[in-house]
Amino acid sequence: MTTTTESHSRIQHFPISFFAMVMGLTGLTIGWEKAQHILHLDLGISPWLVGLSSTLFLVLAFLYATKLALYRAFVVKELRHPVKLNFFPTISISLLLLAIAFLPLAQQVSAALWTAGATLHLIFTLYVVSVWIHHDHFQVHHMNPAWFIPAVGNVLVPVAGVPLGHPEVSWFFFSVGMLFWLVLMTIIFNRVLFHQPIEERLMPTLFILIAPPAVGFIAYLRLVEELDTFARVLYYSAFFLTLLLFTQVQRFLKLGFFLSWWAYSFPLAAFSIASMLMFERTGGDFYRYLGVGMLTMLTGIILVLLANTLKAVSNRRICSPDH
């Protein structure tokens, strides 16, 4: 009876931010698909990585659906939380990333995932932005890079949307994402420069700053198929932010483990893929070495993240009232 009660309690406190794991793992999957392509290799790992990412998504979706069915009030509480609210679109982003991962393997599956992901993400974007506009309890210290997730996640849509035959829909989502990237980037830097530092448990979310220009670069190349001036601005913006954050590595190494550590994963995957695309478009070996090197490092980081997450779950540091 006690075990059953404990299980129910853990479901009750199951955090929406768990879906960031799917983003990181699927980003790694897409990265290895790209690396094998540019290196002319077939390591046979793509189906396994896609299967692992899909399974993780299904498990997390089942657990969160259980929470919604049994503890609706706790889900509503997360939806009204100024920070946790922004992690709900990780569900739709996970679907969009899985659509990209499935694209070279099963186009019909990819199309279904893309349709579900794009539709759900539009709903989340409209909801979250409406909450931002009509809020009555947000304060400056609530602002952190996780706020990029709902709005700027729109730039992912063209990556699978264009090859699936939806260019205009893709342009719509890309435009929305770019619009909010500029707005939120300004707000984020105002918060970081002129207000109290971001709290320790949210420090890893600074890596999310890399994602909008890196993913924007990937999506823009899908839309225009040309490495033009704007594409270069997007790529080198991501490059600078990556360099900036790597100069802060000593600060990040001192942080205790939180689920927010998964914020390291997807942005690094996006920059790795962007670098490999730069190699394809320019032929510069520097970009190939950078992209594959970042991907190799990311593989190690994700193994560390998985180990720490399992340890934290087993030690009840996650899915508890205080976390």
The predicted-structure confidence for 21-78, as pLDDT tens digits, reads as follows 999 999 999 999 999 999 989 888 989 999 999 999 999 999 999 999 998 998 988 8
Q: Are 278 and 222 in contact (CB under 8 A)?
A: no
Report the pLDDT value the prediction gives residue 112, as an integer from 0 to 100.
96
Residues 55, 253: Cα–Cα separation, whole Å: 30
- Separation of first and last alpha carbons in the chain: 24
Report the pLDDT value the prediction gives residue 193, as an integer from 0 to 100.
79
Residue 322 included in any domain: no
Q: Count of CB atoms within 10 A of residue 179's CB?
A: 13
Report the pLDDT value the prediction gives residue 2, as an integer from 0 to 100.
46
Report the pLDDT value the prediction gives residue 177, as an integer from 0 to 100.
94
Among the residues of 15-147, which ranges form H helices?
Answer: 20-39, 46-70, 72-79, 89-102, 107-134
Q: Are 197 and 141 in contact (CB under 8 A)?
A: no
The predicted-structure confidence for 143-154, as pLDDT tens digits, reads as follows 778 888 887 789
Residue 295 included in any domain: yes
CATH number, domain containing residue 112 = 1.50.10.150
Residue 176 included in any domain: yes
Residue 294 included in any domain: yes
Residue ranges in the chain modelled with pLDDT below 70: 1-8, 136-138, 141-142, 319-323
Q: Of 9, 301, 33, 322, which Cα lies nearest the Cα of 160?
A: 33
C-beta pairs of 172-175 under 8 Å, 24+ apart in sequence = 173/118, 173/121, 173/122, 174/216, 174/219, 174/220, 174/223
Q: 3-class SS at 175?
A: helix
Residues 36, 292: Cα–Cα separation, whole Å: 10
Residue 323 included in any domain: no
> Which are the contacts of 271, defined by CB distance < 8 A and separation ≥ 6?
210, 214, 238, 239, 242, 294
Domain range for residue 112? 2-314
Question: C-alpha dihedral over 112, 263, 139, 173, to 10 degrees?
Answer: -30
Residue 217 included in any domain: yes
Q: Are 268 and 23 in contact (CB under 8 A)?
A: no
The DSSP 8-state label assigned to residue 201 in this structure reads G
Residue 319 included in any domain: no
Residues 27, 214: Cα–Cα separation, whole Å: 12
Q: 3-class SS at 28?
A: helix
Write phi, then psi, for 166 (nearest 5 degrees).
Answer: -130, 65
The DSSP 8-state label assigned to residue 72 in this structure reads H
Residue 321 included in any domain: no
| Angle ∠(30,34,39) on CA atoms, nearest 5 | 150
Report the pLDDT value the prediction gives residue 201, as an integer from 0 to 100.
78
Report the pLDDT value the prediction gives residue 1, as an integer from 0 to 100.
43
The DSSP 8-state label assigned to residue 263 in this structure reads G
**In the chain, how many domains are there?**
1
Report the pLDDT value the prediction gives residue 82, as an integer from 0 to 100.
79
Residues 11, 195: Cα–Cα separation, whole Å: 35
Residues 32, 17: Cα–Cα separation, whole Å: 24
Q: Of 181, 174, 141, 142, which Cα lies nearest the Cα of 160?
A: 174
The DSSP 8-state label assigned to residue 199 in this structure reads P
